[in-house]
Amino acid sequence: LKPAKELTPVERGANKLAYSRRKVFWGVITQFVRSGYTSDAPIDKVYQVHGRQLSVSSIFVSFRADRSRGGHSNLR
């Protein structure tokens, strides 16, 4: 899998659901990196918030639910 921002318009259209799920995740990671964190730190924060026992797909679904509520307070 590649990051959502690297998908071409054709790839985005072919699999819109996967693109939109990944886009929310990469948006949070990008926000942390722009704030000065290394890429490992925000990923560890995601696992602290959502738990390591969840699958990646389940974490993406959680991100979408969090986004509708303004984002998770520990990931802002």
Tell me the per-residue pLDDT of 21-41, one tens digit each, with 9 for 90 and over: 788 888 889 999 999 999 899
> What confidence score (pLDDT) does residue 65 get?
86
Contacts of 21 (CB under 8 A, 6+ apart): 57, 60, 61, 63, 64
- Encode pLDDT of 42-62 as tens digits: 999 999 999 899 998 899 888
Q: What is residue 49's predicted lDDT score, i.e. its pLDDT?
A: 92
pLDDT digits (tens, 9 = 90+) for 9-26: 888 777 777 777 788 888
User: Does the pLDDT of residue 63 top 80, yes or no?
Assistant: yes
Rounded Cα–Cα distance for residues 42 and 33 (Å): 8
pLDDT at 21: 76
